[in-house]
Structure 1
Amino acid sequence: MSSNQRNIKWVEGLRGITSALVIATHLARAWDFWLFWPRDSEEVPPRLLQLPYLRIPFQGRIGVPIFAFLTGFVCAYKPLKLAYQHSNAPAALKSVARSAFRRPPRLVLPAVIATLISFVLSCFGTYTVANRCDSFWVRFDAPDPVPFTENFQRLFRSLLTTWTNTENVFDRHQWAMRPLLIGAFQVYIVLAATIGMRFKYRILVHVLLIVYWLMNTADLTETFGANLALGTLLAELSMHRPTQNFISSHQRLLCYVIAPLLILVGGYLGSYPHEHEDWSQWSRQLHQVFVDPAGDQSRGSILVPKGAQGGRRFSTFFIQCTAIAIFISPVFQKALSHRWLQWLGHHSFAVYLVHGTVLRTVGMWIVYGFSGQPWVDPGRNEDGTPKEPEWLHPKSRSHKIMAIIVFTALTYTAAWAWMRWVDTACARATQWLEKKVFDDEDGGGERKESLAEKGYAHVNGNGSLIRPTEADRSQPPP
């Protein structure tokens, strides 16, 4: 097995860790939102998990950007491998075409099934506890109870708006599906446009794209655009023999000095809190140096331009430092290739699709009770607005711990079942569509049918064109 084939396993391991980070973040959002702050209040000392570095898995903002980076890397890897190792640009372009065709059904079909499952559960009132708990984030994520006809109409709207404006009331975690799908096609367009360029100019394009997305202060450009472009750049460099030779010849320096330093620096900046950054000295210093250097919000910095979201910029910087550290460190790559992480990575997409539904049902039932009682409808104010109700409170801390254990075990069990039956069925459906749509590469019957469809009536048994005789010509030869 070649080094490239062996080293690519780290992608699956990183994907597995990312799915676990998503779970940790959403557990914190549901039951300990204070972990998003540098301390519970300005007057109390920080807890252990609120300190720099330790807070990163729980404060959010890193799961989806890592998926964006991995999308850029994976979508570019196979076409670039054909272009580099086999010097076959036409084959690389055909690979881009087939990958672009497969990407929508491989994302849309599982997402639709996950939405349908959540819809059925909502019809049976399984989100009642989630609608009445004292966690605002869980209440926002859970679909409100409505009559069946309205709920059915809402289902079809959600199936559409997931891919138009990222809104899905039955599974709000699917908000990332649309930008990840668009991002994959961004990678395919870049590959198709640059596959014939010389190496240094392709690299220049990737670097300029990263700079462009980081200079763009529109929402989520650093989350998706910049990380997608970085993934494509690193996929390009992974095929470039001089780059790989340089990494091999400086392995000790890169593995044991540069890579850890990148993670340390990136991790410190990536610890920037979601809000209340002025409550701790370390976060206040980050804000003063990078987010608001002038103190009057008149300008930003290179890392956080004026108008950009500070937290997302810091998290993106950490992710990019980590990605580069993994790329230059065979030690990190080997660690991420562990078989347990490979298993987690193989089930990561399923975990992303099922964990929200499990959390809003079984997780809430354990912490708040199954019935959603006691509950009193608070009624409405004189102006017709609803009054603030008395939300349900957690039974105890031990119930939260039990819920975390059961939720995690049930999520990965459901993900295993999903990959065995649901994802397999979606993969077969996509493969069937691909065979129907694309020409047969071996030039068999499908190629003959395709040539005839394009207007070439003279096709022999093996699918090649028959040169017409002089008697067959209705027009003089050109």
Structure 2
Amino acid sequence: MRVRWSSGMLHNAFSGASTLLRLVPRQGWAGNFVRQILPSFVADAIFPDHKPNYKLHPTSYLDGLRGIASFIVFFCHYTENNWSALTPSYGLEPDKSDSFVQLPYFRIIFSGRPMVHIFFVISGFVLSYKPIKSIHARDLDKCYTALASSTFRRAFRLFGPCIASTFIIMILIQFGYLSHVRPWGEQIRNWISVVFHQITWGWDWDRDLRPGYDIHLWTIPIEFAHSMLLFMVIMMVSRVRMRVRQAMVFGLMVYCLACGKWAGFEFLTGLFLAEWHVLKSNQSHAKEWESSDLLDYANPSRRSVFWRIGKPALHFFIIAVGLFLGGWPNHDAEKTWGIRWFLEKTPSPFAEMGGLAPQKFWFGVSAAFIVWTVGEVGVLKRLFEGPIAQYCGRISYAIYICHGPVLDIYQKKFLGRPFEPAKGEPGQKDFKAAVVGWGVKNWFGIETKSQITIGWFVGLLVLGPLVIWAADIFWRAIDNPVVSLGKKMENAVLDDAEPSPRAQGYSPAA
């Protein structure tokens, strides 16, 4: 039966919602509790007096880009775990129909692997920005202070939330919500081993350690190890001339690719792009700007008609190729139109490494160009500085950490399975009783790609809010406090005493 909404019905609905909002406690412990358990954007609407004032900064667009990328990682694991029929490239199954989301460009919505490479380029950029800015201001003391502070707090920032999340997962396992219950002592020993030998194990550089309790945290030790590499490189090049520094960093980028070290290339690319950004934005270096052939296009007096046409075309080409490469399938890349050409052109040593190594080369290179392009194209930059993208950026790390366990708990409950009729005759050996269907898969079916696509979308509408809600609470309850704890620990142990005369080389006899 179709329901027709009249103006009176809408008025009653809004009046009922307003009444419920008025019943929400606003003061005292009850009001604080309600605010903490609601998603922050809902709580900010109900408690406008407590709404934080988020301001944009020069690299805010990178936060927005990272936020959108984190959601795509969530979509990727949701799709691969529950709707694997959508993951093959379009047209590879001639005896079956295809969904439009399998087409190039559309499939980027659940292509999570290239997003990891974008994370790493952004991390290299953001971690380099303050030290590089200080270098250009000729303030090496500030540069070294920023490097020391970032190095001290990096372990807190990366490992703290992961240790907390895996501990929560361990508790959920013991209460029967996930996996198989173990004796408490065995469970705790196993969790400690995972923390020490997988989550915080940065000694394997770019190896996928597939951590227990949350396999998606495999990138965290890689992130930590290459953060330390980045800080060392910045320290090394901090006192050399700008052109020499750029040449050294670019040379190290090429060296990393020649060694098959994709993560090292991506972090150092972030450093290279951070200096590019500082050169563009720092008006005090106008002389460097005007004398640099590399940045010649940014000087309005030197722009040619060709460049005014060529620049948008270049950025459009980068986005088009990057989004196409982002749809690189996990299987049958050699059969996929367009992708197989890039696969054949993969350089050594990635071509010989096998597995998914070729895609990592192309993902890394395209991530570098995409991060650069987003910062150069005003429309894209403003898009990622918008309120939705900025909110996604604030909870991006929490989304990355929380989406796995939330899916593990709820995806089977909501998505269910389709009805299966009985097979064979009762009493016979091959008889199989009918299986009752439930959930999204039973409602829409999974016989055709159209049914699967509808079920995929509806399931996302159901599970997406749960992931966002969990991530929002984790962000405020754990992620932000861990960041604050790192700052407090650093301030608590700082040695900011004035150096003694003896330490300064002072001699009374002089």
Q: TM-score, normalised by structure 2?
A: 0.71
Does residue 320 of structure 2 align to residue 264 of structure 1?
A: yes
Tell me if 1:225 matches 2:264.
yes
Q: Which moved more, 1:58-67 or 1:103-112?
A: 58-67
Q: Which amino acid aligns with 2:269?
A: L
Corresponding letter in the other structure for 1:89: L
Task: Select 1:429's aligned residue among 485, 495, 498.
Answer: 485
Q: Is the 8 A contact 2:375 2:381 kept in 1?
A: yes
Alpha-carbon separation, structure 2, partners of 1:303 and 1:317: 15
How many Å separate the matches in 2 of 1:423 and 1:285?
Answer: 42
Q: Structure 2: how far apart are the matches of 1:259 and 1:344?
A: 24
**Distance in structure 2 (CA, Å) of the matches to 1:342 and 1:436:** 31
Alignment match, 2:464:
408
Q: Distance in 1 between matches of 2:176 and 2:326?
A: 39
Match in the other structure for 2:106? 54
Task: State the partner residue of 1:152.
Answer: 188
C-alpha deviation, 1:236, in angstroms: 0.9
**RMSD over aligned Cα, in angstroms?**
3.0
- 1:182 matched to 2:225? The reply is yes
Alignment partner of 2:156 out of 85, 95, 105? 105
Distance in 1, matches of 2:212 and 2:377, equals 42
1:318 aligns with 2:343: no
Query: Using a 3 Å threshold, how does the CA distance of structure 1 residues 302 and 170 change in structure 2: closer, same or farther?
Result: closer
After superposition, residues 102-141 of structure 1 pair within 5 angstroms as: 102-127=153-178
Task: String of CA shifts for 1:178-210, please: whole Å, max 9, x gaps.
Answer: 000111111100110000011111111221122
Offset at residue 157 of structure 1 (A): 0.9
Letter aligned with residue 353 of structure 2: G
Q: 2:149, 2:271 → 1: CA distance?
A: 18
Matching residue of 1:66: 118
1:465 to 1:209, Cα distance in 2 relative to 1, 3 A: closer
Q: Is the 8 A contact 1:247 1:254 kept in 2?
A: no
Amino acid at match of 2:483: A
CA distance in 2, matches of 1:417, 1:54: 31
What's the CA shift string for 1:311-368, capped at 9, x where partnerless? 2223223222312322332332222111221111011011111111111002232223
- Match of residue 212, structure 1, among 236, 255, 258: 255
Structure 1 residue 466: deviation in Å?
12
Question: 1:392–1:263: structure 2 CA closer, same or farther, 3 Å change rule?
Answer: farther
Q: Which moved more, 1:303-312 or 1:315-324?
A: 303-312
Distance of 2:371 and 2:80 partners within structure 1: 26
User: Is 1:307 the equivalent of 2:359?
Assistant: no
How far the C-alpha of 1:247 sits from its partner, in A, is 2.7
Assess, with a 3 A threshold, how the Cα gap between structure 1 residues 283 and 412 changes in structure 2: closer, same or farther. same
Aligned-pair CA distance for 1:144: 4.5
Quote the Cα distance in structure 1 between the aligned partners of 2:76 and 2:348. 28
Q: Given the superposition, is the C-alpha separation of residues 286 and 237 from structure 1 closer, same or farther in structure 2, using an over 3 Å criterion?
A: closer
Q: For 2:436 and 2:93, locate their aligned partners in 1 and report how far apart those are by CA, in whole Å.
A: 23
Shift in CA distance, 151/368, structure 1 to aligned 2, threshold 3 Å = farther
For the 8 Å contact 1:255–1:328, the answer to whether it is kept is: no
Match of 1:197 in 2: 240
Tell me if the contact between 2:214 and 2:405 (Cα under 8 Å) persists in the aligned partners.
yes
Matches within 5 A, 1:321-400: 321-368=369-416, 395-397=439-441, 398=443
Identity %: 22
Please tell me the residue identity of whatever aligns with 1:75: L
Alignment-mate amino acid for residue 218 of structure 2: W
What residue number does 2:134 align with? 82
Deviation at 1:57, TM superposition (A): 2.8
- Note the 1:242-261 alignment, pairs <5 A: 242=289, 246-247=297-298, 249=300, 250=303, 252-253=308-309, 256-261=312-317
Q: How far apart, CA to CA, are the structure 2 residues paired with 1:196 and 1:253?
A: 38
1:134 corresponds in structure 2 to none
**Counterpart code for 2:194:** S
1:15 is aligned to: 66
The answer to whether residue 212 in structure 2 is matched with residue 169 in structure 1 is: yes
SS in 2 for 1:201: helix
Which amino acid in structure 2 is aligned with residue 184 of structure 1? Answer: S
The answer to whether the Cα contact below 8 Å between 2:253 and 2:265 also exists between their aligned partners in 1 is yes
Contact 1:290 1:303 in 2 (8 A): no
TM-score normalised over the length of structure 1: 0.76
The residue identity in structure 2 corresponding to 1:353 is: I
| Residue aligned with 2:345, SS | helix
Aligned partner of residue 17 in structure 1, secondary structure:
helix
Q: Which of 65, 77, 86 is equivalent to 1:35?
A: 86
Task: Confirm or deny: 8 A CA contact 1:83 1:89 kept in the other structure.
Answer: yes
Counterpart residue type for residue 183 of structure 1: H
Native 8 Å contact 2:64 2:384 kept in 1: yes
Query: Paired residue for 2:495?
Result: 439
Q: Structure 1: give runs of 5+ residues left out of the alignment.
A: 128-142, 292-300, 370-390, 441-446, 470-476
More moved, 46-55 vs 352-361: 46-55
Closer, same or farther in 2 for the Cα pair 1:88/1:58, shift >3 Å? Answer: same
Report the more deviating stretch, 42-51 or 94-103: 42-51
Question: What amino acid sits opposite 1:239 in the alignment?
Answer: V
Amino acid at match of 2:108: I
User: How far has the Cα of 1:68 moved from its partner?
Assistant: 0.5
| Corresponding residue of 2:23 | none
Cα contact 1:290–1:304 (8 A) shared by 2: no
Secondary structure of 1:62 counterpart: helix
> CA offsets per residue over residues 228-275 of structure 1, 9 Å max, x none?
111110001111242666335358446521111111123333433211
1:55 is paired with a residue of what secondary structure?
helix
Deviations 1:44-88 (A, max 9, x none): 35421111122123233112111111110011000111111x211
Q: Secondary structure at the match of 2:266?
A: helix
Q: Secondary structure at the match of 1:79?
A: helix
- In the alignment, residue 124 of structure 1 is paired with which amino acid? F
**Following the alignment from structure 1 to structure 2, what is the Cα–Cα distance between the partners of residues 255 and 81?**
26
Contact 1:303 1:313 in 2 (8 A): no
Asked if 2 retains the 8 angstrom alpha-carbon contact of 1:254 and 1:329, the reply is no
Corresponding residue for residue 377 of structure 1: none
Contact kept, 8 Å, 2:65 with 2:393, in 1: the verdict is: yes
